[in-house]
Amino acid sequence: MFTSEEKQRTKLASGVRVISDASIGLSVRELQPLVEAEQVRLSVQQLRRLLLPLILADAFVTWVGWQVGLQAIALAWFAVMVVAHTARWFYLLRIGEPGRVEPATWLSRSAAALIGLAVLRSAMVLMIFTRPVGEYHYVLTMISFGSAVGAISPVAGHLRSYVGWMAIVGAALCIGWVTRGTLEGSAIATLLLLLFVVLTFYVRDQGRALVQLVSLSESLRRERDRAEKASEAKTRFFAAASHDLRQPLTALSYNAATVQELARLSGDEMLDRVGQGIRRALSESSSLLDSLLEVSKLDAGAVRAEEREVDVMKLLGRIAESFTPVANAAGLELRCLGGHHKGLWVRTDLALLRRIIQNLLGNAIKFTHEGHVSIEAFADDRTGKDCVCIRVSDTGPGIPDELQEHVFEEFYQVGNPERNRSRGLGLGLAIVRRIAGLLNINVTLTSQPGQGAVFELRMPRIPAPRGAGAQLLPDGTEAAPASTRKRVLFIDDEPEIRESLTTLLSTLGWEVRSASDQQEAEEIHEAGFSPDVLLIDFRLRDNASGLDAWRALKRRGCDAPGLMITGETEPRRIAAAREAGITVLYKPVDGAQLLQAMGQALGSAITS
């Protein structure tokens, strides 16, 4: 129930006094065109179905007129009504097309046409009542009352249209019965009047309900748009913050790699320890930024699933193998169960499924202080469907019921009020939820305080494909040893990054040229420097794009493979780079990672 302060009564073009709810945040001026547009939509929808029923109803009225001796008049009247109905039908449907006329104009013309039909109908009714009353007059009354009820739906709560029709036809019918001068006629007229009043109030209430429905729908639409804009703003913030934070980290990463290479060449152990410490700190910072980037990419829709057949047990075995040293270092036992289950295959994105399991396993190891962590897979038909269930369980502290939904929220962590960085940002399960939604994987959590936690993933099981004995692709491809160092052209508008990467690659024996923009890169190429690899930053100064610089060099005959090093997360830009055949690396890039990518681009590994 709305308070008087929350209500504002106004009269829309429909003629219905409706309530504009201030709490919804919509003014009468905003509501009116929305309600009128919905009334037009509903009326046009009903109008398409009504031509034949209306003509049929008039045919019955014509039959009544014929039976009371008005044969010629009835036939002429019927011909006029057929023409009128058909003309109204075509006209209103034509102007009811989107953009033809304003909704208010359509409603006014529809009301005028309905009044014209009412005048023609009432004329025939009055002529029939000039004849002695008999059983056919009762038939006429039934037809007229049925028409009154049937007219409710087409007017779609537009009270003025209905009142215009009912006032004329209803008045003619009531007058016809009253002029009989009998008690029976007066009683029938009174009853008809009451029924018509009730129907009119019903149409009024229908109009009010429509207004409330439209206002609620519009309010929900606005709230949805507001939420989507907030989500987009958050994604843009993460993307911008990620890009700006990665720039100095990238330069520092290259410098750290240079320090370690110099330590190796000079045999300085202290310098090597400093380099290792810098790389560990960078690795931690990079991991946190990668989590932020992953959430940003998932929210932005930049992640696309590439489905293939996956042998679940082989996948779990490989993941368990990589996590066993981590678990042992934490004093835990990592158990990989279900080895006796063969033929557990699913169709999904291998990399994304691996990411989900790794996040769950990593979380379990982080928050379990003693005991063990288990990962297993088994066939599951508890839901009546043949599924594969992957279960990750631990002997950790458990999660209370009231907190279980919150653990899938961003930045939420149970039992980490001091925000220990070693336990991450609290994004692991948020990423799990997003990827699971993308892959249509059902994720459930079962836990009690002091009894650990159990996460289960359920996916439809598929038959083992042909060649099921084939091995999974490895997590990372190993490149072959390099034979020689080659030439690199590096385009980046940040002088610190250009200097640090040039120092690193030069230390490793590469011939390096760097440019701050497309023009400088073209000048270097025109001067005779033909690179074997292009390293490009996506976002250059003055809104220039590294992708455009790469294309310009291609047009000038440079066929070197391209690597794009960027903190950019905007989906369309990343997709454009990949469509152009450029490998995308996200800042900060570790020196070893960059060398491996360069080796893969050249078809051989580059090692330090």
pLDDT of residue 427: 67
Average pLDDT over residues 138-157: 81
Q: At residue 422, does pLDDT exceed 70?
A: no
pLDDT of residue 419: 45
Average pLDDT over residues 531-547: 84
Q: Is residue 236 part of a domain?
A: no
Q: At residue 246, does pLDDT exceed 70?
A: no
pLDDT tens figures, 257-316: 777 778 777 877 787 777 777 777 776 666 666 666 667 667 666 677 778 888 888 888
Do 311 and 425 share a domain, yes or no?
A: yes
Do 22 and 167 share a domain, yes or no?
A: yes
Q: Is residue 285 part of a domain?
A: no
End-to-end CA distance of the chain: 75
Number of domains present in the structure of the chain? 3
Do 394 and 481 share a domain, yes or no?
A: no
Q: Are 287 and 420 spatial neighbours (Cβ–Cβ below 8 Å)?
A: no
Q: Which of 410, 435, 460 is the last residue of a domain?
A: 460
For residues 559 and 268, give the distance between their C-alpha atoms in angstroms, rounded to a whole number. Answer: 40
Q: Is residue 300 part of a domain?
A: no
Give me the domain span that covers residue 154: 4-225
pLDDT tens figures, 109-118: 888 888 888 8
Q: Which of 210, 225, 240 is the last residue of a domain?
A: 225
Q: Is residue 251 part of a domain?
A: no
pTM of the model: 0.46
Confidence of residue 351 (pLDDT cuts 50, 70, 90): confident
436: domain CATH number is: 3.30.565.10
Do 394 and 527 share a domain, yes or no?
A: no
Do 160 and 71 share a domain, yes or no?
A: yes
pLDDT tens figures, 376-409: 988 877 766 788 899 999 888 887 777 767 676 6
Confidence of residue 41 (pLDDT cuts 50, 70, 90): confident
Tell me which range, 225-229, 495-499, 510-514, is most confidently predicted by mean pLDDT. 510-514
507: domain CATH number is: 3.40.50.2300
Tell me which range, 70-74, 541-545, 604-608, is most confidently predicted by mean pLDDT. 70-74
Do 59 and 177 share a domain, yes or no?
A: yes
Q: Is residue 502 part of a domain?
A: yes
Give the pairing of strands 487-491 and 511-515.
parallel
Q: Are 63 and 127 spatial neighbours (Cβ–Cβ below 8 Å)?
A: no
Q: Is residue 271 part of a domain?
A: no
For residues 226 and 586, give the distance between their C-alpha atoms in angstroms, rounded to a whole number. Answer: 30
pLDDT tens figures, 117-140: 888 888 888 888 888 878 888 888
On the CB side of 314, CA atoms within 13 Å amount to: 16
pLDDT tens figures, 550-577: 888 888 888 888 888 877 666 677 777 7
Q: Is residue 293 part of a domain?
A: no
Do 400 and 486 share a domain, yes or no?
A: no
Q: Which of 203, 225, 247 is the last residue of a domain?
A: 225
Q: Is residue 270 part of a domain?
A: no
Q: At residue 502, does pLDDT exceed 60?
A: yes
Whose CA is closest to 506, among 249, 250, 265? 265
Confidence of residue 239 (pLDDT cuts 50, 70, 90): low
Do 454 and 492 share a domain, yes or no?
A: no
